Structure 1
Amino acid sequence: MRTVLTLAATAAIAAAIGFATTQLQLFTRADAPAFIVVIGAAWIFFALAFLALRKVPARHVTAVIIAGSLAIGGAALLGPPNTSTDSARYAWDGIVTNAGVSPYAHIPVADSIKELRPDWLFPTPAGTAVADSAAAGKNDVDHDADCPGVGNRYNDTKSSPSRELLCTAINRPHDPTIYPPMAELYFASVRWFVDPSVQYWPFQVGGLLISLGITWMLLVALRRRGMDPRWAALWAWCPLVATEAVTNSHVDVLGVALALAASLLVASGRRVWGGIALGAAIATKLIPVIVAPPLLKKRPLTLILVSVATFAALYVPYVLSSGIKVLGYLPGYLSEEGYEDGTSFALLSTILPGKSAVIVAAALIAVIAGLTWWRASPTSPWLPQLVLIGSILIIVSPRYPWYALLLIPFIVLSQHWEWFAVALALTVRLFVPTVDVMRGGLALATLIVVAAWFYRQRLARGGGGLHLPGRGQPSTRPDASGRIQEVSS
C-alpha cells in the first residue's frame, strides 16, 4: 500500500506536468497564472511523493524511483517546448553543422545558407511586406505580413542582407550561436539521426535519456557510499527537471551530467577521467566551471591541466574553421543580461549602484569559492559544491530557472534539501518576470538556507538527526525474509 501511494503521488506529478505540456505555453504570458497553479501543484505532489517514499520497503525503492521517473519524463514529452525557444536554436545549429557549415560562421537569417532552412523553423509568411530603408535597424519590420503565431512561438524578422521578410522560431536570429563546442557536438549528434523536417522531440528524448542517466549515476553513487538511495528521487521526480531538461530540453542537462560524472570520478580518485569530464562539462555551457573549486583540494594540477586540455581540444576544430567567431554571441549576451553594468544582480543592485555591484559580486564569489575549497573533502565534496553553486545563483540571480538544474544532484548527494528554495525562486521569476519578485524570492531562499543551517547545527549539538539515513547514519536493507533492518554505513 505504501508503494502504491508513492506511485500515485508520482502519477499526480506526471499529470500536472502533462497538463502543463499539452495545455499551457508562456510565449504570450497569458497562461502565466495557470502555470503558477499547475507547476505549484507539481511541486507539492513532488514533496508528498518524496515523503511517502520514506515508508516504501527498501527492496522496492529503486524500481519505484525509476517508474516514477519514466512516468514524469513521459508526460514531459507530450508537447513541444512551452516556456523557451532555445531548442529551436539547438536544432538549427545541428542542421547546419551536419551540412558542413560552422554554426559560428553564419547567423540563422543569412541568405548564404537559406537553402538549409526547414519550414518548421522558418514558416512561410502570409501577406506582403515593404522593404525597409537602408538606415533601418536590423530587426525593424513593417508587420504587414502574418507569421503563424506572431508573439507566440514565431517572430517576424528580415533576412540578411536581402531584407526579405522571414518568420522564425529561433530567438536572436541576427546573432551567431552562443553555445560552446561540446554543446554543438551534442546538437549535431542528435540531429544526425533525423531528417531536418523533424521538429522538437529529438532533443526532448535526448533530455529524458540524459536525465535517466543522471538518476542512475546518483543511485549507484548513493549505494556505493552507504547512503539511502531514496534521495535520488529528488532529481528523478523533480518538476524542474521534467519541464526544463525534457519538455524544453535545455542543453544544461548535458552539462549537469558531465559535471556530476567529473565530481564522482574525482572523489573516487580517478582525477584524469574526472578532468576530461569536467573539461567537457565546461565546454557544454561554461557554467559547470563552478563545481570545480571544491574538487581542487588534492592534486589540483592534474585536474586543471586535463580539464583545460579537454576544453581546448574541443574548441580546436571550430577555431580552425571560424576563428574568433567561436565566441559567438557570448559578449552580447552578458551585456544584454545586465552582467556588465550590474543591473542583473538582483539583491546586490538594491544597495550598490552600477558596476560596483559587479565588483562586489566578483569578490563574494571569490571568497565563497576559496572557503568551499578550504572546507572540501577530497572524497566527499558535495556540500561545498552545493554551497558554491547555490550562492552563485543567489548572487548572480539569472533570469532562467534551468540554471538551477546544476544544483539538484548536489542536493541529492549532500542531502540538504533546503537549497531547493533557490530553484523555486528562479522558477517563480520565470512566470512573474519582475525584479521585485526576483529579489523577494532570492531573499526568502537565502533566509530558508540560513535558517536550515542553524537548525542543522542545533541538531548536531543536541545529537539529533534527519529521518532519512545518510552518510554516517543508519541505513536500511531487507533481510532474507524481506523485513527491513538497520545496518551501519
Structure 2
Amino acid sequence: MRAALPRVLPVALLLVAITVLTVWIMADVGIVTPQRRPSYTALHGACWILFGAACLLVKRVPDRLVPAIVTIGAVVIGLAALTGQPNTSTDSARYNWDGIVQNAGISPYRYVPTDTALQPLRPQWLFPDGTPTDSGGLRCPGLRARPAEQVGAPGLVCTAINRPTVPTIYPPVAEALFAVARFFVPRAVAYSPTQVLGLVAVVATTLLLLRTLRSLDRDPRWAAAFAWCPFVTMEAIGNAHIDGSAAFFALAGTVLAVRGRALGAGALIGLGIATKFLPVLVVPPLLKRHPVRLAGAAVAVVVAVYVPHLIAAGDAVIGYLPGYLDEEGYDGGSRSALLSAVLPDTAATVGAAVLLLALAVVVLLRADPADPWAAQVLVIGGALVLASPRYAWYALLLVPFMAMSGRWEWFAAVILFSIPVIAGQPVPFRVGLLLVVVVVVTAGVLRRRRSLRTD
C-alpha cells in the first residue's frame, strides 16, 4: 500500500478538489442568477479540468485499488452535490410534488398542481405565500416561485413548480420513484429526497459499471468517466434529474441481455422506458438475439405499470407529453438544429425520425448483441444530434454507455449540450453539432486504423 501511495495520492487530491468546488457551487453559488453566472461558469469549468486530469492519472493507480477509489470518489463528490438545492433546473419541484400527491393516495395524473383540490397538501417551500399587488397580480418571494392561475377557484397562487397548470409529463416508474423518495420525510422537507435518489442512481450505476467492465475483461478505470463527471454530478444529483435512474435501468438491462437473460433484460429496460422513455434507444443493438422475449418483456412491463394509473385517471396518464413535444418544436420541425437548416416545417422532424430509424435498423443488423455498447452509444448519440434537445440532462443516458464502450469522443456532445446550462448563453448549435460529428467521425477513423495496424 505504501508503494502505491505516490500513484493514488494525486488522484485523491484531485477528487478532494472537485469535492470542494462542488460544495462551493451548491452551497455558496446556489441558484444561478445572472449575477452569479460568472462564478458558476468558472467553478464548473474548473471541475471539468480537474475531472479530465483525474481520469488521466487514474491510469497509474494499481488495478486492485481502482474499484475502491472510483467508488469513494463517486460517493464523496455525490454527497457534496447534496449540500445545496437544485441551481439551474426546477424539474425536481414537480418530482417532489408528485411524490407528495401520491403518498396522499392520489394519482399524480388526476390533478394539475394549482388545482385547489390539492390545496391541503401544499407545503410552503413549493407554494409560498405571495403579496397582492395594486394591479391585481401577486408578488412571490424568493427566486424560484412564480404566480400561476389556480384551477377550481379564481385567483393566483405562488409556486416553484414549472408548468403548474398542466398535468405531469413523467411516466409511472418515475412517479413511483418520486413517491419512494418522499415516503420517509415530512412535506416540509424540500428538494433533498430526489437529490438523494439521484445519488443512489449514480452510485448504483458506478458499481454496475465497475463489475461489468471487470467481468468483460475491460479496464474498470473507465467507470471513472461516469462516476466523477461534473455533468453527471450536477444533473443527476445536484439538479436531481430522473434521467440518472433511467440510465441505470437501461445499463442493467443491457448487462442482462449480454449475459443472454432476455426476459430480465427486457423487464429492466421496460422499467427504464417507463421512467423517461429515452432508454428505448438502447434496444436496437440487442434485438438480434431473442428479440421476441426481450421486446415482449419490455412492452409487458410498460403496460403493467400504466394499468393502475389508467384505472385511476383514464387517458390523463398521457399527461403533458403532446403539449411538451409541441412546445419544444418537434411538431413544427424546428427542434432538429441540423435538419431544420435545410428542410422546411415538419419535414425536419420527419427527416430526423427517418434517419434515426435507418440508424436503428443498421445497428440491429450489424451490432453484436454480446458486445452492443459502441452501437448503443451510436444510437443514443445519433438521436441527440438529430433531435438536438434543449435540455442537457437528456445526455445522462449516453455517459454510462460511453464508459462501457470507451467512446470518449462523445464527451464533445455532452459538453456542447452543457454549455448553455453552464454559461447561460445560447451557442451556435448547428456549428457545434457539426463539430461533434467531425470529432466522432475522426475518432472512429483513427480507432479503425489503429485496429487494422494491430491486426
Q: Place the TM-score, normalised by the shorter chain, in its bin.
A: over 0.9
The question of whether the paired residues in 1 share the 8 Å contact of 2:31 and 2:85 is answered with no
Q: Which sits farther off after the overlay, 5-14 or 319-328?
A: 5-14
1:342-421 mapped onto 2 (5 Å cutoff): 342-421=333-412
Q: Deviations over 1:213-248 (max 9, x none)?
A: 001101110111111111111111011111011111
Q: Deviations over 1:36-55 (max 9, x none)?
A: 22211111111100100001
Distance in 1 of aligned mates of 2:68 and 2:321: 42
Question: Considering only aligned residues, what root-mean-square deviation do their CA atoms show, in Å?
Answer: 1.5
CA contact (8 A) 2:44 2:422 kept: no
The equivalent residue for 2:238 is 247
Which AA in structure 1 matches 2:226? W
Q: Which amino acid aligns with 2:120?
A: E
Please state whether the residue corresponding to 1:367 is helix, strand or coil: helix
2:128 paired with 1:123: yes
1:146 aligns with 2:151: no
Amino acid at match of 1:347: L
The equivalent residue for 1:476 is none
1:401 to partner: Cα distance: 1.2
TM-score by structure 2 length? Answer: 0.96
Q: Could you say which residue in structure 1 is the equivalent of 2:3?
A: none
Name the counterpart of 1:66: 71
Structure 1 contact 294–373 (Cα < 8 Å) conserved: yes
**432-441 vs 224-233, which deviates more?**
432-441
Task: Work out whether 1:32 is the aligned partner of 2:23.
Answer: no
Task: State the 1:372 CA deviation.
Answer: 1.3
Quote the residue 1:446 is aligned against: 437
Query: TM-score scaled by structure 1?
Result: 0.89
Deviation at 1:376, TM superposition (A): 1.2
1 or 2, which has the higher helix percentage? Answer: 2
**What do residues 401-454 of structure 1 show as CA deviations (whole Å, max 9, x unaligned)?**
111110011111111111111111000132456665322322221111111111
* Secondary structure in 2 matching 1:54: helix
Q: 1:328: Cα distance to partner?
A: 0.3
Structure 1 residues 351, 25: CA separation in 2 closer, same or farther (over 3 Å shift)?
Answer: farther
From the CA coordinates, give the structure whose radius of gyration is larger. Answer: 1
AA at the equivalent of 1:100: G
State the distance in 2 between where 1:22 and 1:267 align. 41
**Using a 3 Å threshold, how does the CA distance of structure 1 residues 24 and 347 change in structure 2: closer, same or farther?**
farther
Q: Which amino acid aligns with 1:147?
A: C
The alpha-carbon distance between structure 1 residues 29 and 372, as it changes in their structure 2 partners (threshold 3 A), is: farther
Paired residues, number? 450
- Contact residue 7 and residue 61 of structure 2 kept, 8 A: yes
> Distance between the aligned counterparts of 2:228 and 2:159, measured in 1?
33
Provide, for residues 182-218 of structure 1, a one-character-per-residue CA deviation record: whole Å limited to 9, x for no partner.
0111111111111111111111111111110001101
Aligned residue in 2 for 1:93: 98
**Which amino acid is the alignment partner of residue 70 of structure 2?**
I
Query: 2:250, 2:7 → 1: CA distance?
Result: 34
Partner of 1:138: none
Match of 1:474 in 2: none
Structure 1 unaligned residues grouped into runs of 5+: 132-141, 465-489
Counterpart residue type for residue 71 of structure 2: I
Q: Which 10-residue stretch deviates more, 438-447 or 415-424?
A: 438-447
Are residues 1:275 and 2:280 paired? no
Matching residue of 2:53: 48
Task: Indicate if the aligned counterparts of 2:419 and 2:427 stay in contact, CA closer than 8 A.
Answer: no
Question: What are the residue-to-residue correspondences of 1:85-484 with 2, within 5 Å?
Answer: 85-128=90-133, 142=137, 145-149=138-142, 152-432=143-423, 436-463=427-454
Percentage of pairs with the same residue: 44
Task: Sort the Cα spacing of 1:254 and 1:334 in 2 relative to 1 into closer, same or farther, 3 A.
Answer: same
Quick check: 2:30–2:87 contact (8 Å CA) kept in 1?
A: yes
Of the structure 1 ranges 120-129 and 38-47, higher mean CA displacement relative to structure 2 is found in 120-129
Distance 2:390 2:34 in 1: 15
